[in-house]
């Protein structure tokens, strides 16, 4: 296999890109580099105030690859950065308190729990989001891993 055959890039809706495709697209775009730790998790980007910085957004996309809610297929462009511990309640704008969610799942996290109960999100030892369903969905509340595969 030649180096030019390796998948070095990824585009929502298109999937993996070869070196030559990545170079071609790179002529006319903004490129970002994300530094990963030994487990493939992004190292914390510069903490922001309430809103995520451009660097944090890039790091979130590298980690979450779109909406993190289990089973969701929304691409990064259709997501919001959600504070796990709400900013209004003292939650910092740092990577271990942020997760990408599509608008529907973002609203679900902010919705009152009167109908089905409230989902919880925690960052696991793997530095990725985990979702804990309400008892009405799973009485044992088994944590569910985030959907962190690239959405196409």
Q: What is the mean pLDDT of residues 73-85?
A: 93
Asked whether residue 17 is assigned to any structural domain, the reply reads: yes
Are 43 and 27 members of one domain?
no
Are 27 and 50 members of one domain?
no
Domain that holds residue 131: 39-145
Distance in angstroms (rounded) separating the CA atoms of residues 40 and 116? 34
Are 84 and 118 members of one domain?
yes
The count of domains in the chain is 2
Q: How confident is the model at residue 110 (pLDDT cuts 50, 70, 90)?
A: confident
Q: List C-alpha distances in Å: 26 to 15, 31, 33, 63.
A: 16, 7, 13, 21
Distance in angstroms (rounded) separating the CA atoms of residues 150 and 66? 7
Asked whether residue 151 is assigned to any structural domain, the reply reads: no
Output the average pLDDT for the chain.
80
Are 22 and 72 members of one domain?
no
Torsion over CA: 9, 15, 20, 24 (sign): negative
**10, 52, 82, 50: CA torsion to nearest 10:** 180
Taking a C-beta distance cutoff of 8 angstroms, is the pair 79, 148 a contact? no
- Model's pTM, two decimal places? 0.70
Are 79 and 14 members of one domain?
no
Whether 54 shows a pLDDT value over 60: the answer reads: yes
Asked whether residue 152 is assigned to any structural domain, the reply reads: no
Are 51 and 101 members of one domain?
yes
**CA 90 from chain center: how many Å?**
21
* pLDDT > 90 in the chain, percent: 40
Are 60 and 124 members of one domain?
yes
Are 86 and 108 members of one domain?
yes
Sequence-ordered list of residues with C-beta below 8 angstroms from that of 106, at least 6 positions apart, any chain: 79, 80, 82
pLDDT at res. 124: 92
Which residue has better confidence, 9 or 31? 9
Asked whether residue 150 is assigned to any structural domain, the reply reads: no
Are 50 and 70 members of one domain?
yes
Are 71 and 126 members of one domain?
yes
Tell me, what DSSP letter sits at residue 134? -
pLDDT at res. 26: 62
Are 124 and 78 members of one domain?
yes
Q: How confident is the model at residue 47 (pLDDT cuts 50, 70, 90)?
A: low
Q: List C-alpha distances in Å: 73 to 13, 68, 111, 148.
A: 11, 9, 21, 10
pLDDT at res. 4: 46
Are 48 and 113 members of one domain?
yes
Q: How confident is the model at residue 21 (pLDDT cuts 50, 70, 90)?
A: confident
Torsion over CA: 133, 139, 142, 147 (sign): negative
Asked whether residue 105 is assigned to any structural domain, the reply reads: yes
The model's pLDDT over 138-152, given as tens digits with 9 standing for 90+, comes to 999 999 999 877 766
pLDDT at res. 74: 93
């Amino acid at each position: 296999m030649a180096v030019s055959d390796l998948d070095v890039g990824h585009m929502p809706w298109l999937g993996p890109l070869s070196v030559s495709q990545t170079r071609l697209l790179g002529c006319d775009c903004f490129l970002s580099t994300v530094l990963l730790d030994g487990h493939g998790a992004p190292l914390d980007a510069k903490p922001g105030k309430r809103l995520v910085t451009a660097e944090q957004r890039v790091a979130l996309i590298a980690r979450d690859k779109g909406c993190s809610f289990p089973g969701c297929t929304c691409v990064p462009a259709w997501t919001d950065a959600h504070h796990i511990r709400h900013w209004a309640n003292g939650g910092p704008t740092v990577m271990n308190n942020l997760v990408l969610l599509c608008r529907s799942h973002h609203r679900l996290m902010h919705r009152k729990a009167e109908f089905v109960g409230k989902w919880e999100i925690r960052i696991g030892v793997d530095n990725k989001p985990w979702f804990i369903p309400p008892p009405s969905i799973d009485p044992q509340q088994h944590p569910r891993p985030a959907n962190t595969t690239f959405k196409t």
